[in-house]
């Protein structure tokens, strides 16, 4: 089997129906299974899932209690049989042609800090379902050492087919099933946030890099099921405690790199000058990361079951 589509559900039934319809339309001809993990929905989702039991393509898991996004995805991956994972949110609307650029990205190496690396995860461009504005085209670290969405609300995207980033949101990921398992899956200490950034940092430490396929576009309702997480501050604190030393350096390097990428996209002269200046200032930090020979942190203790 080529793909295991894993989706954690928590309410948002109408979004789930639209997502599954778009999945079926855009995956025609692909060999795939769909693993749906319901995390305690109360809006009729569980009743709807009963209608899928007779469809051999679907595997349904009903959590006895609310386990969270990280745990639900880990449980779903535990039963995956596909060579590749597609971790997809239930508030996506998939557009024709979204998968092919992502598959191309996972099968090649990408330039990163003077060398090339395989992709740890492949993300894509996500536009808001309500107004079509770009919401995500990669994750970089700002000067405040906080993760931010690249090209949010921008009018132009990079002209290159692929862009490596520090991370990409797990709302839409393609990656190798065994690689996800080898890294221990998502760290379950996070509650509805930062588990995807943490995984990407773990992958960076282990010699791979997150990549966004710029020609793959989907629509995203943005936290439609759960709303904005009340745990955001706690999640960031956990991320900072685990990764604070590389984040000191990444915040400088990533901000400079993102400024340069945007300058190349807009072709603005002053932006290019600013980008070059920031890159020069960031060079010592860049070299520190590039030459690092010790690991930043230990592997998470997550176990897939």
What local confidence, expressed as pLDDT, does residue 107 receive? 97
What local confidence, expressed as pLDDT, does residue 276 receive? 59
Low-confidence ranges of the chain (pLDDT < 50): 227, 291-305
What kind and span of H or E run contains 92? strand 92-94
Shared domain for 82 and 138, answered yes or no, is yes
In a domain? residue 234: no
What local confidence, expressed as pLDDT, does residue 262 receive? 84
- Average pLDDT of the residues of the chain: 87
User: Do 258 and 279 contact (CB within 8 A), yes or no?
Assistant: no
Q: Is the torsion defined by CA of 67, 73, 77, 79 positive or negative? A: positive
Q: What angle do CA 38, 226, 179 make, to 5 degrees?
A: 60
What local confidence, expressed as pLDDT, does residue 297 receive? 38
**What is the count of structural domains for the chain?**
2
Strands (E), 129-253: 134-136, 139-141, 147-149, 162-165, 172-176, 209-220
Eight-state DSSP code of residue 154: -
**Parent domain of 273:** 239-290
What local confidence, expressed as pLDDT, does residue 14 receive? 97
Shared domain for 127 and 273, answered yes or no, is no
Q: Which of 189, 192, 166 is nearest to 256 (CA)?
A: 166
CB atoms within 10 A of CB 210: 30
CATH code (residue 192)? 3.90.550.10
Shared domain for 224 and 253, answered yes or no, is no
The dihedral region occupied by 301, where left means phi > 0, alpha psi between -120 and 50, and beta the remainder, is alpha
238-271 tens-digit pLDDT: 999 999 877 877 787 888 888 888 887 865 555 5
User: Do 75 and 37 contact (CB within 8 A), yes or no?
Assistant: yes
Shared domain for 187 and 213, answered yes or no, is yes
In a domain? residue 156: yes
Residue 3 burial class via C-beta count within 10 angstroms: exposed 0-12, middle 13-18, buried 19 and up: buried
User: Do 209 and 203 contact (CB within 8 A), yes or no?
Assistant: yes
What local confidence, expressed as pLDDT, does residue 143 receive? 79
What local confidence, expressed as pLDDT, does residue 302 receive? 40
User: In whole angstroms, what is the distance from residue 26 CA to residue 22 CA?
Assistant: 6
Residue with tokens 């960076």: 204
What local confidence, expressed as pLDDT, does residue 303 receive? 36
In a domain? residue 304: no
User: In whole angstroms, what is the distance from residue 215 CA to residue 95 CA?
Assistant: 11
User: Do 138 and 212 contact (CB within 8 A), yes or no?
Assistant: yes
Report the residue count for the chain. 305
Give the three-class secondary structure for 158.
coil
């Amino acid at each position: 089997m080529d793909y295991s589509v894993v989706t954690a559900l928590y309410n948002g039934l109408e979004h789930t129906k639209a997502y599954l319809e778009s999945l079926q339309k855009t995956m025609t001809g692909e060999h795939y299974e769909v693993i749906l993990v319901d995390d305690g929905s109360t809006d009729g989702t569980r009743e709807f899932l009963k209608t899928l039991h007779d469809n051999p393509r679907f595997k349904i898991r009903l959590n006895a209690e609310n386990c969270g996004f990280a745990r639900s995805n880990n449980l779903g991956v535990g039963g995956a049989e596909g060579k590749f994972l597609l971790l997809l949110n239930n508030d996506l609307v998939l557009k024709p042609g979204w998968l092919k650029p992502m598959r191309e990205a996972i099968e090649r190496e990408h330039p990163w800090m003077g060398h090339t690396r395989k992709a740890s995860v492949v993300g894509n461009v996500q536009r808001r379902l309500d107004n079509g504005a770009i919401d995500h085209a990669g994750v970089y670290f700002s000067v405040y050492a906080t993760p931010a969405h690249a090209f949010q609300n921008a009018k132009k995207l990079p002209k290159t087919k692929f862009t490596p980033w520090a991370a990409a949101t797990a709302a839409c990921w393609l990656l190798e099933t065994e690689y996800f398992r080898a890294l221990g899956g998502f760290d379950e200490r996070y509650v509805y946030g930062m588990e995807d950034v943490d995984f990407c940092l773990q992958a960076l430490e282990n010699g791979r890099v997150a990549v966004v396929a710029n020609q793959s576009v989907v629509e995203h309702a943005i936290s439609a099921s759960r709303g904005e997480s009340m745990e955001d501050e706690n999640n960031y604190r956990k991320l900072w405690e685990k990764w604070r030393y590389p984040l000191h350096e990444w915040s400088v390097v990533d901000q400079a790199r993102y400024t340069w990428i945007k300058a190349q996209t807009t072709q603005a002269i002053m932006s290019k000058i600013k980008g070059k200046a920031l890159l020069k200032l960031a060079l010592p930090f860049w070299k520190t990361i590039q030459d690092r020979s010790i690991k930043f942190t230990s592997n998470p203790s997550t176990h897939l079951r």
